[in-house]
Structure 1
Amino acid sequence: MSKNIIITGTSRGIGFEMARQFAAEGHQVLALSRNEKPLKELGVDNIHSISFDITKAEDLNKISAFVKAEWEGFVDVLIHNAGALVSKPFEELSQADFEQVYAVNVFGVATLTQAILPFMKPGGHVVTVSSMGGIQGSVKFAGLAAYSSSKGAVITLSELLAEEYKEQGIAFNVLALGAVQTEMLEEAFPGYQAPLSAEEMAAYIKNFALTANKFYNGKVLQVSASTP
């Protein structure tokens, strides 16, 4: 049965592959990214690619309008995949650096979730892609203070929302990813070769998003073959 899926961060890497794979299975995909061209160039009828900046409140109105007009006001799955990363020594991090990362990785997740929840019914699933760097007790890496701390914050946010919305039948889960061969990994760890491709991880997240809300709510699953 076709479902309505919203995915952020779809211009490259895991997000791009997820949009393509969901659409190939017949689902309707709303792909959100500041650069909508890569998916539009695929020319797939059931991928609706919209230029979207998760840090801008006015862009949220575009999403609500689309869902009302094109999907009869109903969303099955929301996948928070967009991420911002700044890699530099802690003492060189500015307040603006922290604000940039948290605006996407935490505040953007919160505000988009607020915008989409009115369109979700029992059985809805909100999946947030986090990082092993946000897991308490995991291996940490110098230079990622802003990024990894933001990924820890969004884990706790998801746990809280799972509790707050459990009576409405909407599940919230987090996948804390280890190393996946993406452009973002290359930015953080130049030259490192990850054991998993973006296509492989996208397939895992796709299946999780479609089925795992039957088994999990408020959970954080560590999806990591290496870190990094």
Structure 2
Amino acid sequence: MKNIIITGTSRGIGYELTLQFAHAGHNVLAVSRKMPQSLIDNPNITCLSADLSENGGLENIKTFIETTWHKVDIVIHNAGALILKPFTEITAAEFEYIYKVNVFGVAALNRVVLPFMQKGGHVVTISSMGGVQGTVKFSGLSAYSSSKGAVITLSELLAEEYKEQGIAFNVLALGAVNTEMLQEAFPGYQAPLSPKEMADYIYNFALTGNNYFNGKVLQVSASTP
């Protein structure tokens, strides 16, 4: 039984992942601004409503770990924000918000959680194929894709910094998955994978991927988009 933190659990991949870990008997701290009742009612899930771009939510996470779990085995950074606009139409505030959620929130949660992680711990960041150098890029996603590239580099650096402690950092750069966020970026497009199917892959990777990988970016894509 492991203690697992998952962000962005109100819908899509994060929701499916949370249920899958809980049904397998693991303890899950589900972090999201909104919480479905089905997660709240599960005895293996602790729901914490928090905005990771704000310090208050991070303090609540730290307090929970200190008073209840005392250690964390796996972190899955799944929360994300997207805006679809031509570059010149994105305001500075909008650009900053995307980075607050997709980059600064990831960094801030890592700072909170790492003191409670031990050898064998695994930090998995969910990125996007759009953030991988050399892949196809799409107009209107300058803020989103560039932020997803930033967390890739952050994870690579942290893998180096924490390798002596035995804590692994890996990135899964996802292709198209049939989520609400995908519909925001590509309205009407039907992706070949469902959130449940992608959650199955991430579930197994989070539990065992650190035995094989550290500081790696794995491209998990059946199509782009």
TM, length-normalised to structure 2: 0.98
Output the CA distance in 1 between the equivalents of 2:201 and 2:36: 25
Paired residue type of 2:210: N
Paired residue type of 2:17: M
CA offset at residue 58 of structure 1? 1.6
Residue 113 of structure 2 corresponds to: 116
* Deviation >6 Å, runs of 4+: none
Output the CA distance in 2 between the equivalents of 1:223 and 1:152: 15
Paired residue type of 2:33: R
CA offset at residue 37 of structure 1? 3.3
Output the CA distance in 1 between the equivalents of 2:42 and 2:145: 35
Cα-to-partner distance string for 1:132-179 (whole Å, 9 max, x where unaligned): 000001000000000000000000000000000000000000000000
Residue 82 of structure 2 corresponds to: 85
Paired residues of 1:11 and 1:39 also in contact (CA < 8 A): no
| Equivalent position SS for 2:118 | coil
- Quick check: 1:64 aligned with 2:66? no
Paired residues of 1:158 and 1:218 also in contact (CA < 8 A): yes
CA offset at residue 36 of structure 1? 1.8
Output the CA distance in 2 between the equivalents of 1:39 and 1:63: 21
The count of corresponding residues between Structure 1 and Structure 2 is 225
Residue 19 of structure 2 corresponds to: 20
Residue 181 of structure 1 corresponds to: 178
Output the CA distance in 2 between the equivalents of 1:169 and 1:8: 23
CA offset at residue 40 of structure 1? 3.7
Deviates more, 1:172-181 or 1:84-93: 84-93
Paired residues of 1:181 and 1:194 also in contact (CA < 8 A): yes
Structure 2: unaligned runs, 5 residues or longer: none
CA offset at residue 38 of structure 1? 4.1
| Equivalent position SS for 1:62 | helix
Cα-to-partner distance string for 1:27-65 (whole Å, 9 max, x where unaligned): 000000000234445x11001111010011121111111
Residue 3 of structure 1 corresponds to: 2
Residue 43 of structure 2 corresponds to: 45
Paired residues of 2:19 and 2:39 also in contact (CA < 8 A): no
**CA gap 1:39/1:103 in 2 versus in 1, 3 angstroms:** farther
| Equivalent position SS for 1:124 | strand
Paired residue type of 1:17: E
Root mean square deviation of aligned Cα: 0.8
Output the CA distance in 2 between the equivalents of 1:130 and 1:59: 22
TM, length-normalised to structure 1: 0.97
- Map 1:115-134 to 2 at 5 A: 115-134=112-131
Output the CA distance in 2 between the equivalents of 1:100 and 1:64: 23
